[in-house]
């Protein structure tokens, strides 16, 4: 078996892949090697994949965004899911998770890989294990069945998987009888809990953790330690179950590192603003800086129809505080399987959140585009401005919605501040980009505290 990238880095090797990530992210290859070696940075990968672009997560790197797609139990339209994959690729998703639970799960995954072979693909293998396991064996499916599904998905080319190994049988028993508003909102967590309680057995991922590490090392794929007990309501934030599972996740991270297996940790969920920074800092400290993958966080429970905005507010703060990977939410969250347009809205909201966080976390390295755009905005250079938009078609459509009347836009028309001041500003020394970068760098605090 070849050495994993983590073990290679630990041995002092800076290979081509590490050099490529260093170039993309603008960091020193040696620093990056150190962070990969001790698990503070991971590269989403599966050595069976040939065309994969390098996407790295972790300390000192830009915040990445994941898009979930996949059939539901009731809406099974593989072609619509593929349309979502194309949207994710077009609007710049860094990773895609196929969370299909209806139809042929193998076939849909194959289609996703065919349409987007270069985008890292994630799954939650418990879904397939449960759905197909119940059909095949009933609810008493053997525990090694869960491992068979993982192995199959690794062979098929999945790059990272949510594994809910931090959930113990004891926690599962307690949480279902607890006074939490929502005992478990994780689908994979609910499947595993039902299996453990029905069969009175420990979580199969815990029982076979060492074997799982061997499997992931063989493919050099990434384990994303799932948070089955994430809060599904702000009233449940940071309770004994969420924190207890996170402590267990940290223990698993350490044991995976010993074997050279890359891990990331998943986080909430519903959480109010003032808790988000504390959550990120606590998790980073507990895990020795493992990359943190958060769902949102959703900073209010009442944003139905606009949960992508609630998630983007939390995501921006989380990214600024050090979260590394944002899972998007769509306007359909809590209501329905999203349609393709809602996938686009969710992705763009999450990308804005990630970038807003990076403006704090990475400083001027992330701000170049903002500073350039602002220079074009002062000069009303619309064509240039549109080239910076995350969705240029939408920006152009809105600009043109009442027809162009003046050189300015139709918000103020002839009373545009830029037009009025033009004659008085003649001869002023305009700032150049380098000056703006220096000014920006001096104006921000990267040690983000709410």
Q: Single out the residue of 76, 409, 437, 444 in contact with ligand SF4 (rule: CB under 6 A).
A: 409
Q: Which stretch binds ligand SF4 (CB under 6 A): 1-9, 152-160, 409-417, 425-433?
A: 409-417
Give the C-alpha separation, 61 to 59, whole Å. Answer: 6
95-98 and 160-163 strand pairing: unpaired
The answer to whether residue 1 forms part of the interface with ligand SF4 (CB under 6 A) is: no
Q: Single out the residue of 417, 421, 433, 450 in contact with ligand SF4 (rule: CB under 6 A).
A: 417
Q: Which stretch binds ligand SF4 (CB under 6 A): 33-41, 226-234, 406-414, 432-440?
A: 406-414
The answer to whether residue 385 forms part of the interface with ligand SF4 (CB under 6 A) is: no
Give the C-alpha separation, 115 to 336, whole Å. Answer: 24
Site string (278-307) toward ligand SF4, x via CB under 6 A: ------------------------------
Shorter beta-carbon distance to ligand SF4: residue 389 or 409? 409
Shortest Å, Cβ 315 to ligand SF4: 27
Q: Which stretch binds ligand SF4 (CB under 6 A): 74-82, 329-337, 349-357, 404-412?
A: 404-412
The answer to whether residue 400 forms part of the interface with ligand SF4 (CB under 6 A) is: no
The answer to whether residue 408 forms part of the interface with ligand SF4 (CB under 6 A) is: yes
The 3-state secondary structure of 1-13, one letter per residue: CCCCHHHHHHCCC
Shorter beta-carbon distance to ligand SF4: residue 398 or 417? 417
Shortest Å, Cβ 385 to ligand SF4: 10
258 with 295: CB under 8 angstroms? no
Residue of 181, 125, 188 lying closest to 153 (CA atoms): 125
State phi, psi for 15 to the nearest 5 degrees.
-85, 180
Q: Which stretch binds ligand SF4 (CB under 6 A): 32-40, 62-70, 83-91, 405-413?
A: 405-413
Q: Which stretch binds ligand SF4 (CB under 6 A): 133-141, 172-180, 224-232, 413-421?
A: 413-421
The answer to whether residue 420 forms part of the interface with ligand SF4 (CB under 6 A) is: no
The answer to whether residue 412 forms part of the interface with ligand SF4 (CB under 6 A) is: yes
As beta bridge partners, residue 68 has: 97
> Is residue 72 reached through a cis peptide bond, with omega within 30 degrees of 0 on the bond before it?
no
Shorter beta-carbon distance to ligand SF4: residue 112 or 408? 408
81 with 112: CB under 8 angstroms? yes
The answer to whether residue 416 forms part of the interface with ligand SF4 (CB under 6 A) is: yes
Q: Single out the residue of 16, 411, 430, 445 in contact with ligand SF4 (rule: CB under 6 A).
A: 411
Give one DSSP letter per residue of 115-157, joined into a string: H-TTS-EEE-HHHHHHHHHHHHH-TT--HHHHHHHHHHHHHHT
Where do we find the tokens 């986080």?
A: 267
Give the C-alpha separation, 315 to 313, whole Å. Answer: 5
Per-residue DSSP letter, 270: B
Residue of 312, 438, 435, 294 lying closest to 375 (CA atoms): 435
121-123 and 160-163 strand pairing: parallel
Shortest Å, Cβ 414 to ligand SF4: 9
Nearest-10 crossing angle of helices 187-199, 125-137: 40
The site for ligand SF4 (CB under 6 A) is made up of 408-409, 411-412, 416-418
């Amino acid at each position: 078996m070849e050495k994993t990238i983590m073990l290679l880095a630990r041995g002092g090797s800076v290979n081509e892949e590490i050099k490529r990530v260093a170039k993309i992210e603008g960091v020193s290859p040696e620093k990056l090697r150190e962070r990969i070696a001790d698990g503070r940075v991971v590269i989403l990968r599966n050595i069976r994949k040939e065309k994969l672009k390098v996407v790295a997560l972790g300390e000192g790197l830009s915040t990445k965004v994941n898009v979930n797609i996949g059939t539901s139990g009731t809406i099974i339209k593989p072609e619509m899911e593929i349309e979502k994959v194309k949207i994710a690729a077009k609007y710049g998703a860094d990773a895609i998770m196929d969370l299909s639970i209806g139809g042929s799960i193998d076939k849909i995954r194959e289609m996703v890989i065919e349409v987007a072979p270069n985008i890292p693909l994630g799954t939650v293998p418990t879904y397939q294990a449960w759905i197909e396991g119940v059909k095949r064996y009933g609810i008493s499916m053997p525990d090694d069945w869960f491992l068979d599904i993982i192995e199959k998905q690794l062979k098929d080319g999945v790059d990272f998987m949510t594994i809910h190994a931090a959930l113990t049988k004891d926690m599962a028993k307690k949480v279902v009888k607890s006074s939490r508003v929502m005992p478990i909102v994780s689908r994979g967590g609910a499947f595993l809990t039902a299996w453990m309680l029905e069969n009175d057995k420990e979580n199969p991922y815990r029982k076979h953790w060492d074997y799982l590490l061997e499997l992931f090392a063989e493919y050099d794929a990434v384990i994303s330690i799932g948070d089955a007990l994430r809060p599904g309501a702000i009233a449940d934030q940071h309770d004994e179950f969420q924190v207890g599972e996170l402590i267990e996740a940290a223990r698993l991270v350490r044991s995976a590192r010993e074997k050279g297996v890359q891990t990331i940790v998943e986080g909430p969920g519903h959480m109010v603003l003032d808790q988000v920074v504390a959550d990120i800092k606590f998790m980073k400290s507990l895990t020795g800086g493992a990359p943190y993958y958060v769902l949102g966080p959703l900073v209010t429970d009442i944003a139905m129809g606009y949960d992508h905005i609630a998630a983007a507010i939390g995501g921006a703060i989380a990214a600024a505080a050090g979260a590394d990977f944002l899972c998007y939410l769509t306007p359909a969250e809590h209501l329905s399987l999203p349609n393709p347009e809602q996938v686009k809205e969710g992705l763009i909201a999450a990308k804005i959140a990630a970038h807003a966080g990076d403006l704090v976390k990475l400083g001027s390295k992330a701000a170049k585009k903002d500073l350039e755009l602002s220079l074009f905005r002062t000069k009303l250079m619309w064509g240039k401005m549109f080239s910076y938009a995350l969705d240029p078609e939408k920006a152009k459509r809105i600009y043109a919605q009442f027809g162009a009347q003046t050189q300015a836009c139709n918000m103020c028309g002839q009373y545009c501040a830029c037009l009025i001041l033009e004659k008085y500003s003649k001869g002023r020394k305009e700032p150049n980009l380098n000056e703006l970068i220096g000014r920006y760098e001096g104006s921000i605090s990267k040690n983000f505290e709410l």
